[in-house]
Structure 1
Amino acid sequence: MSTLLFSLIIGYNTNEVKKHLIVDKVNDGIDCNSLFDGDLICEQYKSGYRFSIDAVLLAHFVTVKKDDRILDLGTGSGIILLILLYRYDKIIRNCAGIEVQDRLFSLAKNNILNNSYLEQCTILHGDMRKIQDLCRAGSFDSIVCNPPFYPEHTGRMSTNREEKTARHQVTGEIDDFLAAAAYAVKNRGNIFFIYPADLLGEFILAASRYKFEVKKLRFVYSYPGSQKGAQLVLVHCSKNGGKGVYISEPLYVYTEKNGLYTREVDEYYQKKGSLIT
């Protein structure tokens, strides 16, 4: 999801973003964003797709086990993989990201290189709808995905191709992402998605067509008491998994309307070994 779309759904506090995301100019077209007190850097184009806090939320929702192999469908700048590699370091055996857009593919490759994760991570250039050309069936333990939410030609569509592709289903519908996940993940493997809460029924129905059983849900709210209700939902499914769903406690992004990040979200940005006490 892009920064623009997240701001429309959840809200956007510029001061909080600036506090946690340091931006330095690389050249006229690229910014260098640093997270975790500069431990992690992520270059982004000034125009076009830019990641938002939803990528951070999803990365912290993912469960990682020792020697896991992880695939990110539609990796964009590679930010989710970067956060996972930063958090879990050598626990992850290897990971890969698939990106169809030329500029973002090059950007993701550079971000992996700049953070010295080349030995653990590969960025693949291609269309996840042709995933059989990109990887072997069942070759990953977990899939992560922050897909475009809305059908093409609905809502307010950006004139920027990258922004439009990030928000609308230009390069694939949710079934396409789930089909790719079903191909790439091993039996009993896991998938982790973030999706609009009001479209959860659509997601669960589509997931069931590919033998994914929902195992965990966590609803994301802008702030406690928001009259809008849950705006997003984090979803964990297992391929051919057993019945039973765990509903986690609500995740609030802000303490109040136009307020600061909650303690939990603030901790998501803390440098390793320096969590708030």
Structure 2
Amino acid sequence: MALITDYSQPSFYHFSRDSIELANCVAEHIEFHELVVDKLADLCCGCGVIGLEILQKLDEETLSSIKEIHFVEVQDDYNSHLHRNIEQVKRGINGLEYQVHFENILQFNTVKDFDLIVMNPPYFKNGHGRSSENEKKRTCREYSGDELKSYIVHAANLLSQNGVLFFVCREDEQVKELLRGISKIYYIEKVEEAEGFSIFLLLRSQLH
């Protein structure tokens, strides 16, 4: 099927290059390593672009192994946009179950044992740099206190034993220190670097 180019999005926030780069990176990793993915989650999913882009970029054989995809988003303002985008993709990819959850990802634990999780969390520290006057936009972009660490650790705990987490974040000194701490529990590797953000892979099964 042709890739969707007209994703429905709210006026207060449009996805940016980091989401597309993450989807590209994950799709390439799945196919290169011939990963078998039964259950997939897109956390902090917004309008669902990352998870939906991944589905559209996989070949038919790889796609056929996926039975479920779960989208988790805290802001209900994305509800109509997310469902509209899912319906567009379902016209061409309808052999799996699409589930949507509107809740804080830290409270999301009804489904576990994901083979693959993707996450583009808020990765700008609240109070550091320019902040938007729009509260909904701030929710998309900014985190407070230890929230970013909590997001990553919680996502890791939702993985199956051999599951893989891909996430995006900046590499300022605070984040580097945060990742050093998490790497004492989980294996973390930077797999791609771009201007303004990096993409990381986390494995639950490899403790270093």
TM interval, shorter chain, is 0.7 to 0.9
Trace 1:15-164 onto structure 2 (pairs within 5 A): 39=4, 41-45=6-10, 47-62=11-26, 63-64=29-30, 65-88=35-58, 89-116=63-90, 117=93, 119-132=96-109, 135-137=110-112, 139-164=113-138
Deviation at 1:148, TM superposition (A): 0.9
What amino acid is the match of 2:15?
F
Structure 2 gaps of 5+ residues are none
Which of 151, 176, 193 pairs up with 1:201?
A: 176
Alpha-carbon distance in structure 1 between the residues aligned to 2:64 and 2:162: 23
Cross-structure match for 1:23 = none
Contact 1:174 1:206 in 2 (8 A): no
Alpha-carbon distance in structure 2 between the residues aligned to 1:68 and 1:61: 19
Contact 1:197 1:219 in 2 (8 A): no
Deviation at 1:203, TM superposition (A): 4.0
Cross-structure match for 1:259 = none
Contact 2:45 2:71 in 1 (8 A): yes
- The count of corresponding residues between Structure 1 and Structure 2 is 194
Alpha-carbon distance in structure 2 between the residues aligned to 1:38 and 1:175: 33
Q: TM-score normalized by structure 2?
A: 0.81
User: Structure 1 stretches (4+) deviating beyond 3 angstroms?
Assistant: 36-41, 117-120
What amino acid is the match of 2:179?
I
CA spacing shift, 1:38–1:73, aligned 2, 3 Å: closer
Contact 1:66 1:93 in 2 (8 A): no
What amino acid is the match of 1:122?
Q
Deviation at 1:180, TM superposition (A): 2.0
Cross-structure match for 2:160 = 186
Query: Higher relative contact order by CA 8 Å / sep ≥ 6: 1 or 2?
Result: 2
Which secondary structure state, in structure 1, belongs to the residue aligned with residue 139 of structure 2?
Answer: helix
Deviation at 1:109, TM superposition (A): 1.9
Deviation at 1:144, TM superposition (A): 0.8
Is 1:232–2:197 an aligned residue pair? yes
CA spacing shift, 1:41–1:82, aligned 2, 3 Å: farther
Structure 1 gaps of 5+ residues are 1-35, 222-230, 244-277
RMSD: 2.5
Deviation larger for 114-123 or 145-154: 114-123
Which secondary structure state, in structure 1, belongs to the residue aligned with residue 143 of structure 2?
Answer: coil
Contact 1:71 1:143 in 2 (8 A): yes
Q: TM-score normalized by structure 1?
A: 0.63
What amino acid is the match of 2:21?
L
- Structure with bigger gyration radius: 1
What amino acid is the match of 2:47?
S
What amino acid is the match of 2:49?
I
